[in-house]
A and B are shown apart, each in its own frame.
Chain A
Amino acid sequence: MLASRRTKGGIFAAATIAVAALVASALPAHAETGVTSSTIKLGITVPLTGAAAPGYNKIPGAMKAYFDYVNANGGVNGRKIQLVVKDDGYSPATTLSVTNDLILKDKVFALVGTLGTANNEATTRLINSKSVPRLFVNTGFSGFADMKKYPTTFPLFPSYATEAKAMGKYLAENFAGKKVALIYQDDDFGLDAIKGFTTAGTSFVAKIPYSAFSQVDPTTAPKWVTALVAAQADTVIMFGVTSATAVLAGAIYKAGLLGKIQMILGSVGSDGTTLKGLLGPLAPALAGTISASFLPSASDATDEYITLFKSINAQYNAGAVFDNNILTGMNTAMMTVQALRAAGTSPTRASLIKAIETKGSTWASASLSPILYSATSHVGYTGYWFGKLGADGNAVSADGPGKYTLYSTDSGNGPVVKAAATRPAMPAKGLPTN
């Protein structure tokens, strides 16, 4: 057959193109934002300064410490994790400004542990429009689990409605016949809780709402005590932030009612170390207080996660005092590392989200509650245990060290299941192998 030059040229061209195509397909795909061959960049916004800062400003340092530990042990699929921390002073306008910086200037791969309900609301439009994953937001607002409104957002902590339902069952079992009063913050935080209590069928002798921040005025807490006494309450549930819990405890103590009114604290306001700090000489006011948590007690010496985190804290976090904030931060960081690992060797934002949805429920975490992530649910933890605050401000399980009874449920009408908490074993040396 006569192979004309043109035909030969055509075949040669086709071959070249075919080889080029083969070579091209073997090259790594265009790298995702925030990911290089050696690093993954994450971002977080928290109040580092300002009135809301104390306590929360320890979280980024704790997360960084855990990330440093993982980086020192091979990183994630060979990449080191960098955490860019921005101070938002708890102001949503600032949160949006600094998140603009994180996403548009620092070009982070994903946001983790961003704190505050209104603060996260302010950045929702931005992260939705750019499909930026927002992992393990630091707020109990149940709304963030709505996958339609927040497709790339994953809450981690149980919602307040869940907590209230769990508490309702705990009350029914242990405080039947008592006169229980409720003090709650009069916004969606508190109303979420009321919804839960209503579902649980709890009845209160008094319901005392208070406006966010009104607890800083010296007249507020004494007035609560007056109302409690008027209703003859012997038990009070406090669904508020730590500073509100502190003034309540102080006011009960100052009124000489310690021991006569049992306090039960919601998880948001129950960090013992912060409470002790707030109360100072009034710290005895916390004696016998019951609190709800989903993480183990920061003083539980038998817990392998606590032991691990304490040692990481000592080595990588420059002398910070180990408390619930550090525990929370490291736990979130551990979940983040597992999410990044599961996102694959060429992680993309989409693969990260998919990884959490498909595999998140199997990961290791310090929490005593199971994780519920799935393709149809962005709900993380679902359960609480109840313990008494000890002298060091940390809650102790009534079942003894290392044994926790978990009350788990949903935000809706599902039943509350009570069971001994079980938890997958921690990976060796706390380094995930998922």
Chain B
Amino acid sequence: MKHKSPLQRLALSFVLGALLLFASGHIDELRAYQGAQAAIFAIAIASIVLLTGYSGQISLGHGALMAIGGYASVIAQLHWHLPYPLAFIVGTAIGALAGFILGITAARLRGPYLAGTTLALAVGLPSLANQFKILGGEQGITVDVGTAPTWIGKEFSQYRWFFWVAVTVALAVFWLLRNLLSTRYGRRWRAVRSNPTAAALSGIDVGRAKVLAFTLSSAVAGLAGSLFAMLLGLVAPLVFTLTLSFTLVTGAVLAGVSNLGGSIVGAVVLVAIPELSGSIASRLGGSEKVTSNLPGVITGVLLILTVLFAPNGPKLPHRKR
């Protein structure tokens, strides 16, 4: 297996970034938005790869963690008047804090019990927006980060700017995670996932490793949530439903849950499937009952088939599980 040094990976990221920047000048606004959406999903999926693929903890509530980051970053912009890059950091930090608390609580929980807890969190958390005036209630809080700052010198339409921001952040996050996962932390997490007893016997502090994984994963999810708030220009309870949490886990499985690079494929698939289902449905036509539900049928079938035939995600060369 090819081991790249952090420096090599950095160079690769820069090349990739430059290519994407070039490409972004040539794609239309709609694709720019979808590209930004995919980049943000990729970050969120990466957070699940870290948590589930590496440390073996299941979360059905990452939508709630995105919500925490999203709301924190919007409040930071509107109430503390922070510029949005700083607000993103706030979102990441608050996400980390939430993850730390959740991680400590969840450290003792196994598989389905953890799944149940995170599920309950996903259902319960967004409704808190109605509790506290500052959280905006059902219709949410809007925010507009504008477009590229003037010192960049180049003109961007808002969606192209979002694309560039999201992709840059995604590249940075992937670079950091890839490096992190190839250190002893990554090895510890994998050990904890495959056999916690053996891991404990070989001196790994299982509890601490799990909490660390949860904290980092939630930080990344919080960052994804902040970017998502930027993209939509809105945070509201309806944005962060249980369905979002399920979608993220689905993306992680499509990625091959322990495959960081697969996150990008997973994200692109998540954005592409509704498009695909929608266009197939409108081509096939039929009564309204049929056309409006056809995308759901196609999505369900695609999902089942993909999980059945490629449960470990895209087969990338030279990649050891």
A–B: direct contact at CB < 8 Å: yes
If A61-B288, A93-B239, A122-B233 touch, whether A100 touches B30 (CB-CB below 8 Å) is yes
Cβ contacts A182-204/B at 8 Å (1 or 0 each): 00011111000000000000000
- The answer to the question of B292 belonging to the interface, with a C-beta cut-off of 8 Å to chain A, is yes
**Among the listed A48, A143, A189, A214, which residue makes an inter-chain contact with B138, where contact means beta carbons less than 8 Å apart?**
A189
Specify which chain A residues have a CB less than 8 angstroms from the CB of B234 in the assembled complex. Answer: 92, 118, 121-122
Instruction: Please give the distance in Å from A217's CB to the nearest CB on chain B.
Output: 11
Contact A187 B236 (CB under 8 A): no
Within 8 A of A (CB), among B11-52: 28-30, 33-34, 37
Is A124 in contact with chain B by the CB < 8 A criterion?
Answer: yes
Q: Which A residues touch B274, using CB under 8 A?
A: 94, 97
B142 A212 Cβ-Cβ under 8 A? no
Contact residue range for chain A? 35 or more
Distance to closest chain A CB from B282 (angstroms): 10
Residue B243 interfacial (CB < 8 Å): yes
Contact of B296 among A49, A57, A119 (CB under 8 A): A49
Query: Of A87, A125, A141, which contacts B139 at CB under 8 A?
Result: A141
**Secondary structure at chain A's binding surface: helix, strand, loop or mixed?**
helix
Contact B137 A188 (CB under 8 A): yes
Nearest CB on B from A394, distance (A): 24
Please, how many angstroms separate the alpha-carbon atoms of A105 and B34 in the complex?
A: 13
With a cutoff of 8 Å between Cβ atoms, the chain A residues found around residue B34 in the complex are: 97
Q: Which residues of B in the span 286-321 have a Cβ within 8 Å of any Cβ on A?
A: 288, 292-293, 295-296
A125 to B159, CA, bound (A): 11
Closest CB in chain A relative to B78 CB, distance in Å: 14
Which residues of A lie under 8 Å from residue B140 when comparing CB positions? Answer: 92, 118, 121
Contact with A along B257-290 (1 / 0, CB 8 A): 0000000000000000010000000000000100
Residues of B within 8 A of A188 (CB): 137-139
Q: Report chain A residues within 8 Å CB of B30.
A: 100-101, 104-105
Residues of B within 8 Å of A129, CB to CB, are 158
A186 neighbours in B (Cβ, 8 Å): 130, 137
Q: Is B144 an interface position by the 8 A CB rule? A: yes
Q: Are B292 and A212 in contact (CB under 8 A)?
A: no
Q: Is the CB of B232 within 8 A of A122?
A: yes
List 29 interface pairs A-B (beta carbons < 8 Å), by A numbering.
A49-B293, A49-B296, A57-B288, A90-B238, A91-B241, A93-B232, A93-B244, A96-B232, A97-B274, A104-B29, A104-B30, A105-B30, A117-B139, A118-B239, A122-B232, A122-B234, A122-B236, A124-B142, A125-B142, A125-B158, A186-B130, A187-B137, A187-B138, A187-B139, A188-B138, A188-B139, A189-B138, A212-B127, A214-B127
B: which residues have CB within 8 A of A? 28-30, 33-34, 37, 127, 130, 137-140, 142, 144, 158, 228, 232-234, 236-239, 241, 243-244, 274, 288, 292-293, 295-296
Given contacts A122-B232, A212-B237, 4 further A-B contacts (CB under 8 A): A92-B239, A93-B232, A104-B28, A118-B139
